[in-house]
């Protein structure tokens, strides 16, 4: 038997966790693990601190459980968020007249519907916290070319030629995760013939914290309340799913025509809409990785699952991944267990994969049901939907999913330290 | 050489049986999967009692710095390694040389310094070494003379130290779950791993501990939920149980 090289002699010293991808989920994982005493290295192709935050115009509806986690980490005070006070959901056609909403959810002390936040502001708050308070080692403008599990560590080869040794490697690289491919983990995905159009609008009347969502023949049209500012007291975020070809056409319209198209879909509840800033388009797809972890390699956020952004579940799922993974790792370490081994990662996978699949299934299902342009499915929904409002159990289930309540909830999502 | 490591408390057939399984110790999905599954529960039980007994920092990842822990029947090192990571100076003894080899190899791979020695508790006693914590987990049901074994363990413990033993209770339920289900139905453990006649009731344990001059302070059961695949600690001691043992002077009066 040949002697294995002794680990302690390796240079540089071993990281506890190397995270590839410094977006919202990767950055959050770094911040949380650093808080609990893990030696973390964060690596990204971009120089994420230097980038003058380019807004992609996207805002997220942060569910209450995830909000609790962000609050505990001290990230919420500078966000200028808007609490969602109610949801109005219904089915309609383009140019509809005062159609009634089929589902009305109002927030109360027990049921909170979450907070609207601009992603860019959350990213800024997160980066500030990472820079000012954490011990995280940053490797900007770099990436992992290859990695290999050797005994109880993973050796990573970097684009700059150095090597990194870590007990656990995490990919938070988003849905196109390169490391996931290198690990040989496949994904199951559904590609919709749809695109999401995203932008911010100002409007005449106050939204009063209400979130609206119309299910139109080609997809859903959501208007989500944003905090106002001095120039525009009334702002909302638009998330509009449209047939891909039509979305292309919409993107080419001039501002006035684009606004007219939005108004035709939303109606006049908030008065005249006005486009503020750029509009963005991205293809809609949903997918889930065949496994979330193996051989000291773990997936979090969109690298593990990406969802049709119907209810802003994407970022919420990512935050829940972070909370669950951190809890699994901290608990294993407190017991002296090898936190990067299969048992530990299986715990994470067991806690997260079901929830992700369920959310995906639910979102995918809702979208399919509502966006069938003709045929029996749609007939069924048009008959069935108005009665949904009275189906308390379904409503409760939807609210529970939206607010993230579940058994065995990670402590961070309850606003508690691990 | 072989005779040197064997004496009264060792049943040769038992030693050989475990040596055959040794290489599989560290495969969490292999034959020792149930032990890996239960490991967090027993680690938590021992850790919490140690923190309380020695007044250690519960928030630290290395709360047991400066404490000497003896793991009797250390097997592949499933207990020794965690306590070494938690800062303790760990000695693992096992009557099977193959187990010790497996454990040494794995500790090196994990970058941990653990003293592994192929010997019995009795042999170690002759070296007059004493430990803050003595662990004898899932071992008493495999020794030939359990009463003597408990005495040896007691003598290896420092007067202000503590000891934790775990074993399978001698009940109909433990026969049904520990042997019939675990070995034959679920296939968790190789057939013939346990001999029900050697299982120990908490009452019997109490008598042996008392005879060794120590006090059985606490008994907690471990129950397995096959649906959630999670072990929990509770008052049901019918199958697996953990026993906390201390000196009378360290215990509140009854």
Bridge partners (DSSP) listed for residue A201: A236, A275
Each residue's pLDDT expressed in tens, for chain B with a length of 254 residues: 333 444 556 677 766 655 555 557 788 777 777 778 889 999 999 999 999 999 999 989 999 999 999 999 998 899 999 999 999 999 999 988 888 988 988 898 888 999 999 999 889 999 988 999 999 998 888 888 999 999 999 999 999 999 999 987 766 666 566 666 666 566 666 666 677 666 788 899 999 999 999 999 999 988 777 666 677 888 877 678 899 999 987 666 55
What architecture (CATH level 2) is domain B2-250?
3-Layer(aba) Sandwich (3.40)
Contacts of B47 in chain A (CB under 8 A): 334-336
- Say if CB A198 and CB A288 are below 8 A apart: no
Which listed CATH number (3.30.1340.10, 3.40.50.1460, 3.40.640.10, 3.50.50.60) goes with A8-190+286-405?
3.50.50.60
B interface residues, A as partner, C-beta within 8 Å = 28-29, 36-37, 39-40, 43-44, 47, 61, 81-86, 108-111, 229
Could you tell me the residue ranges of all domains in chain A? 8-190+286-405
In B, minimum Cα distance to A408 occurs at: B228
The rounded distance, in Å, linking the Cα atoms of A383 and B237 is 57
pLDDT of A150 higher than 80: yes
Cα end-to-end distance, chain A, whole Å: 43
Mean pLDDT of A310-322: 82
Test A336 with B43 for CB contact under 8 angstroms. Answer: yes
Listed residue (A195, A198, A220) closest to A369, CA to CA: A220
pLDDT bucket at A51, cuts 50 / 70 / 90? low
Written as one string, the DSSP assignment of chain B is -GGGG--TT--HHHHHHHHHHGGGTT-TTSTTHHHHHHHHHHHHHHHHHHHHHHT--TT-S-TTTT-EEEEET-TTSTTHHHHHHTT-EEEEEES-HHHHHHHHHHHHHTT---EEEE--HHHHHTTT--EEEEEEES-GGG-S-HHHHHHHHHHHEEEEEEEEEEEE--SHHHIIIIIIIIIIIS--S-TTS--GGG---HHHHHHHHHHTT-EEEEEEEEEEETTTTEEEEES--SSEEEEEEE-GGGS---
Contacts of B83 in chain A (CB under 8 A): 336
pLDDT bucket at A12, cuts 50 / 70 / 90? low
pLDDT bucket at A284, cuts 50 / 70 / 90? confident
Return phi, psi of residue B52, to 5°: -70, -45
- Say if CB B141 and CB B167 are below 8 A apart: yes
Could you tell me the residue ranges of all domains in chain B? 2-250
Distance of CA B209 to the CA centre of its chain: 15
Q: In terms of pLDDT, which residue wins out, A45 or A403? A: A45
A53: its two tokens:
């935050």
Contacts of B111 in chain A (CB under 8 A): 6-8, 152
Angle in degrees, CA A214, A216, A218, rounded to 5: 140
Is A333 an interface residue toward B (CB < 8 Å)?
yes
Measure B104 CA to nearest chain A CA, in Å.
13
Contacts of A328 in chain B (CB under 8 A): none
Contacts of A152 in chain B (CB under 8 A): 109-111
Q: Which of residues 334-373 of A touch B (CB under 8 A)?
A: 334-338, 341-343, 346, 350
Average pLDDT, chain A: 84
ipTM: 0.83
- Say if CB A19 and CB A30 are below 8 A apart: yes
| Residue range A236-260, pLDDT digits in tens | 999 898 999 999 999 999 999 999 9
Measure B40 CA to nearest chain A CA, in Å.
7
User: Which of B110, B114, B231 would best serve as a mutation to test chain A binding (most A beta carbons within 10 A)?
Assistant: B110
What's the pLDDT at B226?
67
Measure B11 CA to nearest chain A CA, in Å.
31
Contacts of A341 in chain B (CB under 8 A): 28
Measure A293 CA to nearest chain B CA, in Å.
15
Cα end-to-end distance, chain B, whole Å: 47
Residue A386 burial (CB count, 10 A): 15
The pTM for the full model equals 0.84
pLDDT bucket at A226, cuts 50 / 70 / 90? very high
Test B86 with A342 for CB contact under 8 angstroms. Answer: no
Test A152 with B40 for CB contact under 8 angstroms. Answer: no
What's the pLDDT at A153?
93
Test A338 with B81 for CB contact under 8 angstroms. Answer: yes
**CB within 8 A of B79, min separation 6: which ones?**
B39, B42, B43, B46, B71, B92, B135, B137
User: Which of B85, B114, B133 would best serve as a mutation to test chain A binding (most A beta carbons within 10 A)?
Assistant: B85
Q: Is beta strand A163-171 parallel, antiparallel or unpaired with respect to A153-158?
A: antiparallel
From B29, B61, B108, residue closest to A333, measured CB to CB: B61
Residue B3 burial (CB count, 10 A): 6
Most trustworthy range by pLDDT among A129-138, A281-290, B26-35: A129-138
In B, minimum Cα distance to A407 occurs at: B228
From B37, B47, B108, residue closest to A335, measured CB to CB: B47
Mean pLDDT of A62-72: 93
In A, minimum Cα distance to B64 occurs at: A336
Name all contacts of B54-60 with Cβ < 8 Å and 24+ positions apart. Answer: B54/B132, B60/B87
User: Which of A16, A152, A335 would best serve as a mutation to test chain B binding (most B beta carbons within 10 A)?
Assistant: A335
Contacts of A7 in chain B (CB under 8 A): 109, 111
What's the pLDDT at A375?
36
């Amino acid at each position: 038997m040949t002697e294995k090289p002794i680990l302690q002699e390796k240079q540089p010293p071993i990281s506890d966790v190397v995270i590839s991808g410094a977006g919202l989920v990767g950055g959050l994982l770094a911040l949380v693990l650093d808080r609990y005493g893990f030696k973390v290295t964060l690596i990204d192709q971009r120089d994420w601190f230097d980038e003058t935050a380019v807004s992609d115009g996207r805002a997220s509806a942060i569910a209450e459980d995830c909000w609790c986690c962000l609050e505990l980490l001290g990230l919420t005070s500078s966000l200028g968020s808007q609490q969602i006070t109610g949801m109005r959901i219904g089915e309609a056609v383009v140019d509809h007249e005062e159609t009634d909403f089929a589902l009305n959810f109002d927030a109360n002390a027990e049921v909170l519907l979450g907070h609207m936040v601009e992603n860019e502001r959350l990213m800024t708050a997160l980066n500030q916290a990472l820079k000012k308070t954490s011990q995280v080692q940053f490797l900007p403008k770099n990436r992992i070319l290859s990695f290999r599990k050797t005994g109880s560590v993973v050796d990573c080869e970097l684009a700059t030629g150095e090597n990194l040794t870590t007990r656990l490697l995490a990919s938070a690289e988003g849905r196109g995760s390169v490391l996931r491919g290198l690990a040989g983990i496949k994904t199951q995905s559904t590609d919709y013939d749809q695109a999401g159009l995203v932008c911010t609008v100002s409007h005449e009347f106050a939204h009063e914290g209400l979130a609206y969502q119309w299910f139109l023949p080609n997809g859903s049209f959501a208007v989500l309340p944003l905090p106002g500012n001095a120039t525009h007291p009334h702002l909302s975020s638009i998330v509009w799913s449209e047939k891909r070809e039509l979305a292309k056409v919409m993107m080419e319209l001039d501002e006035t025509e684009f606004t007219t198209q939005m108004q035709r879909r939303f109606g006049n509840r908030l008065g005249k809409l006005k486009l503020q800033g750029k509009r963005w388009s991205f293809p809609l797809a949903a997918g889930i990785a065949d496994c979330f972890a193996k051989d000291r390699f773990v997936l979090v956020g969109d690298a593990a699952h990406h969802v049709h952004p119907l209810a802003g579940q994407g970022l919420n799922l990512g935050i829940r991944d972070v909370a669950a993974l951190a809890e699994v790792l901290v608990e294993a370490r407190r017991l002296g267990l090898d936190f990067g081994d299969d048992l530990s990662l299986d715990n994470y996978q067991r806690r997260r994969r079901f929830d992700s699949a369920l959310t995906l299934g639910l979102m995918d299902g809702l979208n399919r049901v509502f966006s069938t342009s003709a045929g029996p499915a749609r007939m069924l929904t048009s008959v069935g939907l108005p009665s949904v409002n009275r189906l308390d159990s379904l409503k409760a289930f939807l609210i529970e999913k939206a607010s993230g309540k579940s058994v065995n909830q990670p402590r961070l999502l309850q606003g508690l330290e691990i | 050489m072989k005779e040197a490591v064997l004496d009264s408390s060792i049943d040769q057939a038992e030693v050989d049986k475990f040596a055959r399984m040794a290489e599989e110790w560290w495969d969490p999905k292999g034959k020792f999967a149930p032990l890996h599954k239960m490991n967090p529960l027993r680690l938590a039980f021992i850790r919490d009692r140690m923190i309380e007994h020695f007044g250690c920092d519960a928030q630290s990842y290395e709360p047991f710095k400066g404490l000497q822990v003896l793991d009797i029947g250390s097997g592949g090192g499933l207990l020794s390694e965690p306590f070494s990571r938690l800062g303790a100076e760990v000695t693992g003894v096992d009557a099977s040389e193959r187990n010790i080899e497996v454990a040494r190899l794995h500790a090196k791979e994990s970058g941990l310094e653990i003293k592994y020695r192929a010997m019995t508790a009795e042999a170690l006693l002759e070296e007059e070494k004493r430990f803050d914590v003595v662990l004898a987990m899932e071992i008493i049901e495999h020794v030939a003379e359990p009463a003597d074994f408990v005495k040896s363990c007691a003598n290896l413990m420092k007067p202000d130290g503590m000891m934790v033993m775990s074993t399978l209770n001698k009940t109909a339920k433990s026969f049904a779950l520990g042997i019939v289900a675990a070995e034959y139905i679920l296939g968790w453990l190789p057939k013939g791993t346990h001999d029900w006649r050697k299982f120990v009731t908490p009452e019997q344990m109490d008598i042996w501990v008392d005879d060794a001059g120590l006090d059985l302070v606490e008994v907690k059961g471990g129950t397995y939920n096959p649906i959630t695949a999670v072990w929990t600690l509770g008052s049901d001691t019918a199958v697996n149980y953990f026993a906390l043992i201390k000196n009378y002077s360290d215990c509140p009066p009854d």
